[in-house]
Structure formats: structure tokens, C-alpha cells
Amino acid sequence: MAPQLMKRYILSHREGIDGLKLQADVPVPELRGPTDIRINIKYLSLNARDLQIVTNDYPAPHEVPQDCVPVSDGCGIVEAVGSEVTLFKVGDKVAPVFPQGHHYEEDLALRSLKRGLGGAIDGVAAEYFVCDQEEAVHIPSNFDCLQGSTLPVAFTTAWSSLYSHHPSLQAGQTVLCLGTGGVSLCAAQIALAAGARVILTSSSQSKLDKVSKLLQDLIPASAPQNAIQTIDYSKIDAWDVEATRLNGGKGVDFVIEIAGRATLARSIRSTKQGGLVAISGYMSDYKPIPDHLIKEDIAKVILYSAANVRGVFVCNREDFKTAVSALELAGVKPIIDKVFNFEDMKDAYRYMEEGRHIGKVCIEL
């Protein structure tokens, strides 16, 4: 039986990380209806969106409620079920769907965006979370709750980038992943598990070396040396040209584009005709961008590349389930950089803000 009181965080203001306020002795939420489940949240994982929300930099098409519970990604154990629940039982390891209600559509509808955890509605930075059974999924059977906490945004965005739209990834293709954050590394893992090649970029060769080593388990010993390749763009400014060179003089099939204006033109030029530039972020907005990049005529770059360029959000719940099955069968495990205690969640946000992490930053409740 759950205790009567719990701890949670709220957003007391959105002027920075100090707006995160830990509350103790908050009533544990009750089941609201016969198909609800109550999850004892064990771990959270942070995304860029979580940081953008606390700093008031998130360009969402909805208001962020005062005292909203933050964080979109979490995982825990089902602790209670309503009388009509058929999909889960007490003791199951589950992750809530982000956003709630995004079940079948290829593209994320506005009505679902308005149910985004940790921004539009209360998130999972609480010891207990209640949702309808339709708003959660089982995590892979070979995942623990720490690993499961990385699924709802990072892995589903990576899956959406490679499989939920046209074109979809095929074995033998090449995926260019920008940076060493959550979505890019999840996409690299999915691609390698599917028999595709990966090119990783970073401004840190030490990060690239570490990531390449972490990814080696996903490729057979007999795989060619170019299964995983890297570009240190602090040394190679024309990384789009280098990506083409590394891919045998051809454009890559997919680009995981998480940076936005500062990199978009080069991402497009890196891509073959008919390939896909999947834009899921705009991290370069938070750093100075040279004028020549801002002034570049993106319309012409797209026109003459004949590449597909589209925004990508998380995949829907049914694709989420497919991704869970694929990760389970392939033995893919998330790359986790550091785990913080719940009481130190502000430190976790600050650590992510510094951008020194490789993979996911997580929090233990």
C-alpha cells in the first residue's frame, strides 16, 4: 500500500533552475477512474525540453501552468490499478507516454502537445504518478527502471526520426548523428542495431572516442571499420564535406539534426537526394551563431539538395511499443552519463546545462 504523503517538485517560477521547488508531505494522488493506474516513479531522465521550460525558453503552443510538476520522462512500478484495468498488473515496470494521448497519428497533434508531461500538464517529478492505462507502456523486459526512464522522449524521438516517417531506415544505409546527447546517441544505437552505418560529430575528440567505444558492442567483430566513424568539427569546419567523404563520396541517408540554425544548411548538404534531415532540436539557439550562417538561404539549400527536411517529435504510442520490442530483441541499452539523487535535482539540471554529458542525465527517487 502506498503511503499517504509523497515528495514532488513544482515550478514555482520559470526564471531559471532555482524555480524548481521540492515539496514534501504532498498527498499521494488517488486513482481517478476504473482504468487508472498509479505508478511508483523510481527514476527520471532529463531532456533539453525540461531545461528550456524552467528557463522560459520553450516555444510551446500552450501555457505552462503555475506550480506545474516538471519532467517528461520517468519510469516506475505499477503500485495500484483500477477495477477495469486489463493492460497492466501491480508490479509491472512501465513508462508514461509522452505526450499523453499521442497514440496513433504519424504527426503530433496540437491536442496532444497540450497534454505534454512536465510542461502543459503535471509531469513525473513526483514519487507517485496516476494516468489512464492507455497512457503508459511496458518497458523492455531486460531494462531496469533507470534504463526505462530514458525511453519516453529520447528513444522515441530517435525512433520517429528513423522509422515513423518517409523514408524509413534500411540496413546498409548511413546515419549522421549530430552531437553526443540523448537523441543522437539513441539514434546511433538504433541504427547500428539495424545494420546501418553511423557517423558521429562533436567538438570533443575525447567524447567521440568514448562514444565509439560504448557503441562497439552493437556491431559484430567482423563488421567493416567504417561502421562507426567520427568527425571532430572543432578541427574540421566543413564537416558536411567530410561526412560525404566518409560515406564514399555520397550523401548520407539520414541526419539527426538537433542543433538548428547553426548546422541546418550543412546537414542538408550532407544528405543525399531523397534522404531525410530529421529536425528535433535547436540547441544552437543558446549560443552565438555567426552571421553568415544566419543569413544563409535555406530555401535554396533545400531546393537544390532534393532532400526531405522535416520536423520530428516523439513517435506515437504504438510506435513506442514497436521500439520497445526492437530494443529488447537487439539488446540495446541506453547510454547513461550520471545519476543524481532526487533531492539534488537542481544539480542535475545544472549539469545538463553545462553540456558536458554523454548520453542521458538521470535522477533516482
Could you report the per-residue pLDDT of 193-239, keeping only the tens digit for each?
999 999 999 999 999 999 999 999 898 888 888 899 999 999 999 99
- The per-residue pLDDT for 285 is 66
Grid cell at residue 160: 520517429
Per-residue b or e along 308-318, where b marks 16 or more CB atoms closer than 10 Å to that residue's CB: bbeebbbbbbe
Ranking 11-20, 114-123, 221-230 by mean pLDDT, the lowest is 221-230
Sign of the CA dihedral with 115 first, then 117, 120, and 125 last:
positive
Cell numbers 544505437: residue: 189
Ranges assigned E (strand) in the chain: 5-11, 20-27, 36-45, 73-81, 93-96, 128-132, 136-138, 174-178, 197-202, 228-232, 252-257, 271-279, 308-311, 336-341, 360-364
Q: What average pLDDT does range 154-175 have in this prediction?
A: 97
Q: What average pLDDT does range 177-190 have in this prediction?
A: 94
Other C-beta atoms closer than 10 Å to the C-beta of 103 total: 14
- The per-residue pLDDT for 174 is 98
Name the pTM for this structure: 0.95
Domains by residue range for the chain, with CATH: 5-152+334-364 (3.90.180.10), 165-311 (3.40.50.720)
33-84 pLDDT tens trace: 999 999 999 999 999 999 999 999 988 788 899 999 999 999 999 999 999 9
Grid cell at residue 98: 509522452
Asked whether residue 14 carries a pLDDT value surpassing 70, the answer given is: yes
- The per-residue pLDDT for 60 is 79
CA distance 291 to 296: 9
- The per-residue pLDDT for 175 is 98
- The per-residue pLDDT for 291 is 74
Asked whether residue 1 carries a pLDDT value surpassing 70, the answer given is: no
Residue 330 — pLDDT band, cuts 50, 70, 90?
A: very high
- CA distances 90 to 2, 11, 144, 297, Å, are 12, 30, 16, 55
Residue 45 pairs in a beta bridge with 73, 362
Query: Which of the pair, 1 or 111, is modelled with greater confidence?
Result: 111
CA distance 267 to 173: 16
CA distance 80 to 297: 55
Name the percent of the chain lying above pLDDT 70. 99
- The per-residue pLDDT for 215 is 94
- The per-residue pLDDT for 168 is 97
- When the pLDDT of each residue in the chain is averaged and rounded to a whole number, the result is 94
- The per-residue pLDDT for 284 is 66
CA distance 322 to 320: 5
Of 95, 87, 107, 106, residue with least CA distance to 152:
95
CA distance 25 to 127: 11
CA distance 58 to 211: 29
Asked whether residue 3 carries a pLDDT value surpassing 80, the answer given is: yes
281-297 pLDDT tens trace: 877 666 677 777 777 88
